[in-house]
Structure 1
């Protein structure tokens, strides 16, 4: 997991570093650390969050390893699967 704020001191430095990491395939998903949600980099919900709350993951396995859940906006099918799994755990 990479914190957005760790990518540089200024927004320009962070943008340059982030672009490089995305192009090189180091980052493929974004996350919201307060609610532990991950989703696509193109998600409209993710683009609205504050820099200090934004994290990045190489892949879905990494996001799940940090106990993040799929975004209900950009990853509807994966979110529904996650929701079903967690509701079964709660009722058991």
Structure 2
């Protein structure tokens, strides 16, 4: 699986099959552009319409998502050091 998909695009049985086969490893919030582990308490609270699934962190990063600061602290700190300042540098505050 090399493309993400929305939770509402598949049935529960399809999702369980993908999880069982190890094809889905991470979930993300399409509005916030944040991804994390499937067992993350923050991720479990999001609406299904906002949930997307990824097969890898590389896939999520390539789609413009950042790691969750709750369940993926180490990856988030690495992302923040590498990409965070550039993102905020271009932001203009009024």
1:63 alignment partner, one of 44, 57, 60: 60
Displacement after TM superposition at 1:15 (Å):
2.3
Q: CA RMSD in A?
A: 1.3
**What CA distance in whole angstroms lies between the structure 2 residues aligned with 1:22 and 1:63?**
17
- Where structure 2 has 5 or more consecutive residues not aligned to the other structure, the ranges are 90-94
Structure 1 outlier segments of 4+, above 4 Å? none
- Where structure 1 has 5 or more consecutive residues not aligned to the other structure, the ranges are 8-13
Count the aligned residue pairs: 85
TM-score (norm 1): 0.85
TM-score (norm 2): 0.84
Question: Residue 16 of structure 2 aligns with which residue?
Answer: 19
- Higher mean C-alpha displacement, 29-38 vs 16-25: 16-25
- Give the number of the structure whose residues are more often helix, by fraction: 1
